[in-house]
């Protein structure tokens, strides 16, 4: 799938969701480097620091997290020009149309509602990654 190694960061406060995302992402291509973050502030700190070296190609962020919410993470990343070429994908258990539009307006490249089946996760994430690589 990839021309060069693709790297992905996932920020989600739910361990089960992190494991599902990792399984799906590495299932797309075992060469994809996947970094998982359970604590949003830690993720922001590490990724902003990584901007001095190398950023991931994609950052998947759960919207509803305690402390630093997903939409706040999005704002922080989009305020930093180092993240201009990073695809930021927002997701949540519930994604009303108004919320999705607000996230897109704030700089999210893609927005989706968490599916029930892992196969559906694979289809959504696979479409996002393939669309971005082409």
Q: Are 121 and 93 in contact (CB under 8 A)?
A: no
Torsion from C-alpha of 61, 66, 68, 70, nearest 10 degrees: 20
66 closest CA partner among 34, 28, 44, 40:
40
Query: What total number of domains does the chain contain?
Result: 1
Q: Residue 44 is encoded by which pair of tokens?
A: 């922001």
- Is residue 52 in some structural domain? yes
pTM of the model: 0.92
pLDDT above 50 (res 127): yes
Q: Is 55 left (phi over 0), alpha (psi -120 to 50) or beta?
A: beta
- Is residue 48 in some structural domain? yes
- Is residue 100 in some structural domain? no
- Is residue 47 in some structural domain? yes
| Enclosing domain of residue 111 | 1-6+14-59+81-91+105-123
pLDDT tens-digit series, residues 81-107: 999 999 999 999 998 899 999 999 999
pLDDT at 133: 57
């Amino acid at each position: 799938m990839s021309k060069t190694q693709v790297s992905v960061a996932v920020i989600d406060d739910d361990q089960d969701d992190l494991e599902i995302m990792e399984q799906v992402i590495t299932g797309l291509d075992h060469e994809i480097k996947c970094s998982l973050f359970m604590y949003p502030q830690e993720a922001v700190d590490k990724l902003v620091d990584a901007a001095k070296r190398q950023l991931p190609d994609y950052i998947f962020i759960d919207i509803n997290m305690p402390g630093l919410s997903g939409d706040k993470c999005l704002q922080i990343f989009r305020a930093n020009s180092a993240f201009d070429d990073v695809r930021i994908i927002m997701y949540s258990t519930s994604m009303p149309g108004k919320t999705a539009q607000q996230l897109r307006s704030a700089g999210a490249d893609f927005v989706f509602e968490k599916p029930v089946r892992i196969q559906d996760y694979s289809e959504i994430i696979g479409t996002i990654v393939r669309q971005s690589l082409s």
